[in-house]
């Protein structure tokens, strides 16, 4: 298309499908297609007019966040360990066209979208790191960098600390230590406190499974595909990414993030099937399968985070292969002991396209965790594996609204597209952003 003489624009990218009111899902597809095409033009700067599209159920701010998120995901790349790197995306900045009435809303939405990009990139980078680099101590080092996030004095509202193995043993975290003790890499319980809300206001708690490599332990996994077990810390990566985005966006809310970081290895010190351990809560667990280790580190983390008296706990974990059989890669599995909390998370997923599906958490499944020798077993048999894993975790969150996101199918991809997706950073950020708005 020929542009008018003297125009500040070099070329025009026309996106179809916007001539009528569209659904949120269709608008997201339009934004994704436009972002992909924009990346291919080689343009360094762009002015986007799609924010004016009529989208059912999405205000101006939501449309802008969707547009800019699509662009940031399109230009992401990870080639830290390649000796010959592909040329970086030429695109450096994207401006959003708006009128005077929408200027304030647009500026705020752009700031949030920029913060979300930082969070997504952080999560994906962590997930893609090789396991000889990304171990529990490395995750702690990266978490400490969050003190530098959120310029303009916001870093003083961030505190990063950690429990070492000695302290976790003193606190009675026998479940966590049963996983960590098999590895030469020491485990860490990483705690990030962000005080962006009112003083004394109960925080939202995010808990992430950070198994930096999962061999299965003594219940050793098969060799093919085991390289993908570096992604078993993607739950931790996502809560760290969401935390970074929340800090960068300066959301007015209190947040505590806990990462249960350990490596699951077979050794002379590793747990055996049949071992019985005591959790921080005092409940005992018979370990029938050492490859069901995520729930063992998470149960102690969920117990620990309750010392902060949170208004809600959301844990995120690549917990079970069973959820992949149930939902594939399109949705994360959502379990909750509180229907209102579940609806908040489902709504956040719908608004961002980072969707979850509400799974049952019925008492009927609890009997599968029966042990003849301890309070519970760490597995419940072949049937409903993701459900019984959630039922296990639910036993440690009876006194507080709690939800569990099983992201084993959504947090990373295999095959030719192998890599971390960053999910569910978008869902978590939107959930916390909506809470901050009240």
CB 236 within 8 A of CB 298: no
Of 295, 355, 423, 433, catalytic: 295
Cα separation, 384 vs 371, in Å, equals 17
221 is catalytic: yes
For residue 421, give both structure tokens. 């997706």
CA 293/CA 241 separation, integer angstroms: 23
Question: Which residue in the list 144, 157, 159, 221 is annotated as catalytic?
Answer: 221
Yes or no: say if 198 and 267 are a contact pair by the CB < 8 Å rule: no
Q: Quick check: is 154 catalytic?
A: no
* Spatial contact of 295 and 393, defined as CB atoms under 8 Å apart: yes
Residues assigned a catalytic role: 221, 295
């Amino acid at each position: 298309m020929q542009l008018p003489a003297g125009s500040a624009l070099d070329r025009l990218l026309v996106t179809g499908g916007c001539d009528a009111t569209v659904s949120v899902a269709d608008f997201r597809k339009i934004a994704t297609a436009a972002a992909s095409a924009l990346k291919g033009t080689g343009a360094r700067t762009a002015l986007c007019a799609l924010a004016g599209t009529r989208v059912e159920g999405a205000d101006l701010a939501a449309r802008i966040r969707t547009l800019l998120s699509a662009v940031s995901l399109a230009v992401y790349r990870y080639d830290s360990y390649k000796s010959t790197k592909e040329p970086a995306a030429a695109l450096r900045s994207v401006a959003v066209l708006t009128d005077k009435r929408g200027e304030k809303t647009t500026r705020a939405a752009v700031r949030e979208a920029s913060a979300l990009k930082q969070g997504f990139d952080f999560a994906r980078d962590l997930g893609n790191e090789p396991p000889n680099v990304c171990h529990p101590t490395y995750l702690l080092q990266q978490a400490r960098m969050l003190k530098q996030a959120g310029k303009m004095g916001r870093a003083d509202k961030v505190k990063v600390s950690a429990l070492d193995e000695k302290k976790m043993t003193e606190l009675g975290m026998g479940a966590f230590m049963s996983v960590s003790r098999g590895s030469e890499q020491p485990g860490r319980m990483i705690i990030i406190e962000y005080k962006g809300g009112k003083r004394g206001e109960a925080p939202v708690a995010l808990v992430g499974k950070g198994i930096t490599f999962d061999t299965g332990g003594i219940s050793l996994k098969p060799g093919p595909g085991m390289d993908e077990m570096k992604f078993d810390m993607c739950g931790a990566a996502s809560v760290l990414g969401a935390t970074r985005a929340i800090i960068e966006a300066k959301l007015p809310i209190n947040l505590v993030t806990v990462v249960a970081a350990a490596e699951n290895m077979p050794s002379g010190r590793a747990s055996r099937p049949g071992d019985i351990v005591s959790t921080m809560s005092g409940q005992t667990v018979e370990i029938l399968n050492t490859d069901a280790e995520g729930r063992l580190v998470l149960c102690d983390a969920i117990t620990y985070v309750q010392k902060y008296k949170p208004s809600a706990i959301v844990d995120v974990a690549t917990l079970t292969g069973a959820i992949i059989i149930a939902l594939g890669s399109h949705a994360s599995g959502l379990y909750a002991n509180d229907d209102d909390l579940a609806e908040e998370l489902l709504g956040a997923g719908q608004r961002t396209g980072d969707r979850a599906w509400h799974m049952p958490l019925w008492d009927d499944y609890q009997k599968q965790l029966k042990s003849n020798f301890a309070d519970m077993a760490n597995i419940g048999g072949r049937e409903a594996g993701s459900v019984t894993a959630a039922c296990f975790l639910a036993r440690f969150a009876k006194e507080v609204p709690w939800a569990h996101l099983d992201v084993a199918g959504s947090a990373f991809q295999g095959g030719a597209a192998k890599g971390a997706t960053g999910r569910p950073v978008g869902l978590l950020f939107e959930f916390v952003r909506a809470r901050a708005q009240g």
